[in-house]
């Protein structure tokens, strides 16, 4: 239950703390007293605070955890969870966390692949934005304000409530929170038409390190640039985004076509590499690689699933495919025309006819598993021999539930300059790869076995993907590419991973960080460092 107190938090402190919790932070009692003293209404703030002695603490912590790797008993837990319902409460949490030496981890939907929105090695507070989920759609101006605790599913639902011909180019998974998704770039199956989610953000409001609430005008263009692709957690707490809504046709066309190795999958994937980024921008065809049971008893094979969204009608799609990719053998029977919002459900894996209300459900679509992910960018087609080497690795025991997702670029992504936003992966990329491996077994032995497999796959891919740097996507967070030192880190240390995510934009991000958070309060294992700190360490 929530902590209830009519006389402020100090009255109930003695009931809240066990010796084990008190040892987990420097001054947790003082932190809660600080919240009470600096809140406009101490009763109100008490109703959004959860400590480990509170029966609701674990359910709230675990509700938005998407990766079971971070649910073990030895995973560091937050000193306090705060689920703010008012903006002033966020400012108070920041001020009191700074005063009492606690880190802040901000969680929107809990999809950070390495759990950085709810895990820390240092004493910390989770600021869970789940109550910040207001969405205001204005069809006349074709804009919307979206609070950062909203999910992309909730956003799509609210747009569809108001219009059948407006949409937004965000992610496929409806439970992803927009706070982190947009701040890392955010992409979906309309990226070839409209670019990233972040490309279509036109204003934002955030709370800075001093507890001040800023919008685009008051934060300035440098900070506004940084939070659209540079990861918001380095710069403040995102309250809400203003986005521009974009045109979608009354009907779109979708298809899903499975091809196994016995059905010429290798040649089809090889050909796809040369054509997918050159299709008209209305057409997105991605590939999902998995291992499946073969038609031969007791045997398995590799399957390439070609999945598509076309912002147009069936006849035009079939004509395009016959012209550019006839090898796939796409037929009318493979395709379905539907509204754009229906395609959102289809692409997310819901059955045809499912109610749109499922987009409002924040619980995961599938049973939660342990997983590890990595990312790559491909600039030249991988040879058939190279593809066959991937298939060979997918037959290994640890790859039973491995997935490789290939997402084509081109179109609008080629038109936007790589320094327009912190997200630099634009022209020159044929497609992006998301590497994933899932497993069910508990324990470190199983985790190490599967993580070792995906690391070996990543090593195998090195000759076939981008180089100098080997690029990666921050929303597919991977601590293997480099981490900061605990506490304050150096520029040199952070640049190991920073140039992989941001290329030369990393340097501008460091300058912005130095301006807005020179003391490096907002930090994690892969946060942008301020330049002042590493210069001091070098003796400058």
Q: Is the pLDDT of residue 208 over 70?
A: yes
In three-state form (DSSP H/G/I as H, E/B as E, the rest C), the secondary structure along 58-126 is HHHHHHCCCCHHHCCCCCCCCCEEECCCCHHHHHHHHHHHHHCCCEEEEECCCCCCCCCCCCCCCCEEE
Cα–Cα dist 153/359, whole Å: 5
Q: Is the pLDDT of residue 12 over 50?
A: no
What pLDDT is recorded for position 488? 72
- Indicate the pLDDT class of residue 20, thresholds 50, 70 and 90: very low
- Indicate the pLDDT class of residue 296, thresholds 50, 70 and 90: confident
Write down the pTM of the prediction: 0.93
Q: Is the pLDDT of residue 43 over 90?
A: no
What pLDDT is recorded for position 363? 87
Cα–Cα dist 422/382, whole Å: 27
The size of the chain, in residues, is 540
What pLDDT is recorded for position 6? 30
Q: Quick one: the chain helix, strand, coil %, rounded to 5?
A: 40, 20, 40
CA pseudo-torsion sign 469, 286, 196, 170: negative
Q: Is the pLDDT of residue 446 over 90?
A: yes
What pLDDT is recorded for position 115? 96
Cα–Cα dist 146/144, whole Å: 6
pLDDT in tens, 363-401: 877 778 999 999 999 999 999 999 999 999 999 999 999
Cα–Cα dist 178/148, whole Å: 5
Strand spans (E) along 119-245 = 124-128, 135-138, 143-147, 166-167, 201-207, 213-215, 237-244
pLDDT in tens, 231-283: 999 999 999 999 999 999 999 999 999 999 999 999 999 999 999 999 999 99
Greatest alpha-carbon pair distance for the chain in Å reads: 74
Catalytic residue set: 476
- Indicate the pLDDT class of residue 487, thresholds 50, 70 and 90: low
Nearby residues of 459 by Cβ (< 8 Å), 6 or more positions away? none
415, containing H or E segment = helix 412-415
Cα–Cα dist 293/301, whole Å: 6
Comparing 148 with 45, the larger pLDDT belongs to 148
DSSP three-state, residue 256? strand
């Amino acid at each position: 239950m929530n902590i209830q107190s009519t006389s402020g938090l100090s009255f109930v402190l003695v009931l809240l703390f066990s010796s084990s919790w008190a040892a987990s932070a420097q001054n947790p009692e003082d932190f809660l007293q600080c919240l009470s003293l600096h809140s406009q209404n101490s009763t109100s703030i008490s109703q959004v605070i959860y400590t480990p002695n509170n029966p609701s603490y674990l359910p709230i912590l675990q509700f938005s955890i998407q990766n079971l790797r971070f649910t073990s008993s030895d995973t560091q837990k937050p000193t306090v969870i705060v689920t703010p319902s008012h903006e002033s409460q966020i400012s108070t949490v920041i001020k009191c966390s700074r005063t009492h030496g606690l880190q802040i981890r901000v969680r929107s939907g809990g999809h950070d692949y390495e759990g950085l929105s709810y895990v820390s090695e240092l004493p910390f507070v989770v600021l869970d934005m789940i109550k910040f989920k207001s969405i205001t759609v204005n069809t006349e101006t074709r804009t919307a304000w979206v609070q950062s605790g909203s999910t992309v599913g909730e956003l799509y639902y609210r747009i569809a409530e108001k219009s059948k011909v407006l949409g937004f180019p965000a992610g496929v998974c409806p439970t992803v929170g927009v706070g982190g998704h947009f701040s890392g770039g955010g992409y979906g199956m309309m990226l070839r038409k409209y670019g990233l989610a972040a490309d279509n953000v036109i204003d934002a409001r955030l709370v800075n390190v001093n507890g001040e609430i800023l919008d685009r005008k008051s934060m300035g263009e440098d900070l506004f640039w940084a939070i659209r692709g540079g990861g918001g957690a380095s710069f403040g707490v995102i309250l809400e985004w203003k986005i521009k809504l974009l045109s979608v046709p009354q009907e779109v066309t979708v298809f899903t076509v499975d091809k196994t190795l016995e059905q010429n999958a290798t040649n089809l994937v090889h050909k796809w590499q040369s054509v997918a980024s050159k299709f008209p921008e209305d057409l997105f065809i991605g590939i999902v690689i998995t291992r499946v049971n073969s038609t031969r008893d007791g045997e398995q094979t590799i399957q390439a699933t070609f999945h598509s969204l076309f912002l147009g009608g069936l006849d035009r799609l079939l004509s395009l495919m016959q012209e550019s990719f006839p090898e796939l053998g796409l037929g009318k029977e493979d395709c379905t025309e539907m509204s754009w919002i229906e395609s959102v459900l289809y692409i997310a894996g819901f059955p045809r006819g499912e109610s749109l209300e499922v987009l409002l459900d924040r619980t995961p679509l599938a049973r939660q598993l342990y997983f590890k992910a990595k990312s790559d960018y491909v600039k030249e087609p991988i040879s058939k021999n190279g593809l066959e080497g991937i298939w060979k690795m997918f037959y290994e025991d640890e790859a039973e539930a491995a997935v490789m997702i290939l997402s084509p670029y081109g179109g609008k992504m080629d038109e936007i300059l790589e320094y327009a936003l912190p997200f630099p992966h634009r022209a020159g990329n044929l497609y992006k790869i998301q590497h994933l491996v899932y497993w069910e077994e508990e324990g470190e032995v199983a985790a190490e076995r599967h993580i070792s497999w995906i690391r070996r796959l990543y090593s195998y891919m090195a000759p076939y993907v981008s180089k100098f740097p080997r690029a990666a996507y921050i929303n597919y967070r991977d601590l293997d590419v480099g981490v900061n030192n605990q506490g304050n880190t150096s520029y040199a240390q952070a640049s190991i991973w920073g140039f992989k995510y941001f290329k030369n934009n990393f340097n501008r991000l460091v300058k912005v960080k130095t301006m807005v958070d020179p003391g490096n309060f907002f930090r994690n294992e892969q946060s942008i460092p301020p330049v002042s700190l590493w210069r001091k360490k070098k003796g400058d």
